[in-house]
Amino acid sequence: MSAALDVSGLTTRFDTRSGSVTAVDNVSFSVEPGRILGLVGESGSGKSVTGFSIMGLVDEPGQVVAGSVTVDGVDLRSLSDDDMRKMRGSRLAMVFQDPMMTLNPVLRIGDQMAMAVRVHRKMPKREALEESRKALDIVGIPSPAERLKAYPHQLSGGMRQRVAIAMALLHRPSVIIADEPTTALDVSIQGQILAEVRRLADDIGTAIVWVTHDLAVVSSLADDICVMYAGRIVERGTAEQVIGNPRHPYTQGLLDSIPARHEPGGHLPQIPGSTPQLSRLPSGCPFRPRCSRATEQCKSEPPSDSRDGQIVLCHHPLEGS
């Protein structure tokens, strides 16, 4: 099966007055139709910028400087601005973190959705509203026809995020990039949305990139997992491989710090230090200063090591079981 989304060597740089910062450094992965890829990392690891780079929506002064992004075989970086705009929303869509902010507060849900329908398919507004109603129905919103007349502030956070997901689904895109879409929601709502997304990926065959800092969320949702650190993907493999048998010390550290994996009241291990500033990365492996396995060797660029398709960027990968 060919990949719906193929990212290869993607590099995004921010040229600021105080110097150039590489927020996304040589990132490669691919997602097949109907599969969910979890892109995991702490804040500042470049996971959101990766999502925006794929969408072609990196804010100034950021710029994608290298690599390719292919959706359904179309190389996005070779497209003109207007052709790229036509891809957005129709072939690849995005859902954002904060459902309170992403919908326009002064427009009715129906008007916003109809606008999103009609920008890619010419049709009377009445039909566009009907399309929108169906999309709301698919994501499990009760009495969708009434919701179309509502303003965003009249809906709860969970409902708004469902609306945003419905908007992403309007044109049955091949790829959806979901940037921490459940982070701002209650845990119970989070579970519902996750189940809903899993079902949609299976039913519609959309490839989903789920960007999150929460390894616990992706472990139950994703088929494949990429772990990002300081702009690079440090480990990549199937969910079972990465969760069950992590090879990068950073992944191991993240897994160890999930409370649910420990006895209540026991000591919760944590990764020492904090995410490095991208403008002041150490030479070689960026995780070196926080790593318990670091040696003199780690001052040089870490090699890529592959085992059964599980790829890790480390001098001293864990051998695991």
Partner 1 sequence: MFGYLIGRLSQAVVVVFAMSIIVFVGVYAIGNPIDVMIDPGATQEIRENLIRQYGLDQPLWRQYFTFVSNVFHGDLGRSMVYNISVTSLVFSRLPATVELVLVSVVIATLIGIPAGLYAGYKPGSLGAKLIMALSVLGFSVPTFWIGMLLIMGFAVELGWLPSGGRGEVARFLWFDTSLATPNGWSHVIMPAINLSLFKMGLLIRLTRAGMVEAMGAEYVRFARAQGLPDQQIVFSHILRNISIPIVTVFGLELGSTLAFAVVTETVFNWPGVGKLIIDSILQLDRPVMVSYLVMVVVLFVMINLIVDLVYARLDPRVRLKGGA
Residue (121 or 261) nearer to partner 1, CB: 121
What is the Cα–Cα distance from 214 to 194, expressed in whole angstroms? 13
287 sits in which H/E element: none
Q: How far is the CB of 196 from partner 1 (least distance, A)?
A: 19
The DSSP letter of residue 58 is P
Q: Tell which one of 116, 129, 197, 254 touches partner 1 (CB under 8 A).
A: 116
| Interface stretch with partner 1, choices 35-43, 101-109, 181-189, 248-256 (CB under 8 A) | 101-109
Dihedral pair phi/psi, residue 310, rounded to 5°: -90, 115
3-state helix, strand, coil in the chain (%, to 5): 35, 25, 40
Q: How far is the CB of 92 from partner 1 (least distance, A)?
A: 9
Q: Tell which one of 77, 86, 290, 293 touches partner 1 (CB under 8 A).
A: 86
Residue (112 or 190) nearer to partner 1, CB: 112
Both tokens of residue 171?
């044109």
Q: Tell which one of 63, 104, 283, 300 touches partner 1 (CB under 8 A).
A: 104
> Residue written as tokens 């009609």?
118
Regarding beta strands 5-16 and 19-31, do their DSSP bridges make them parallel or antiparallel, or are they unpaired? antiparallel
From residue 155 to residue 174, what is the string marking binding to partner 1 with x (rule CB under 8 A)? Answer: ---------x--x-------
Q: How far is the CB of 202 from partner 1 (least distance, A)?
A: 23
Q: Does 268 bind partner 1 (CB under 8 A)?
A: no
Residue (57 or 195) nearer to partner 1, CB: 57
Residue (94 or 271) nearer to partner 1, CB: 94
Confirm if 239 and 220 have CB atoms less than 8 A apart: no
DSSP assignment string, 71-117 = ETTEEGGGS-HHHHHHHBTTTEEEE-S-HHHHS-TTS-HHHHHHHHH
What is the Cα–Cα distance from 203 to 182, expressed in whole angstroms? 21
| Interface stretch with partner 1, choices 14-22, 72-80, 115-123, 241-249 (CB under 8 A) | 115-123
| Interface stretch with partner 1, choices 98-106, 126-134, 222-230, 286-294 (CB under 8 A) | 98-106
Confirm if 276 and 282 have CB atoms less than 8 A apart: yes
Both tokens of residue 248?
């990068």
Residue (14 or 287) nearer to partner 1, CB: 14
Both tokens of residue 59?
């804010």
| Interface stretch with partner 1, choices 24-32, 53-61, 123-131, 234-242 (CB under 8 A) | 53-61
Q: Give the HSE-up count for residue 104: Cα atoms under 13 Å, Cβ half-sphere.
A: 11
Q: Does 115 bind partner 1 (CB under 8 A)?
A: yes
Residue (78 or 104) nearer to partner 1, CB: 104
Residue (88 or 198) nearer to partner 1, CB: 88
Confirm if 315 and 298 have CB atoms less than 8 A apart: yes
- Give contact residues for partner 1 (rule: CB under 8 A): 55, 57, 59, 85-90, 93-94, 96, 98, 101-107, 115-116, 119-120, 151, 153, 164, 167
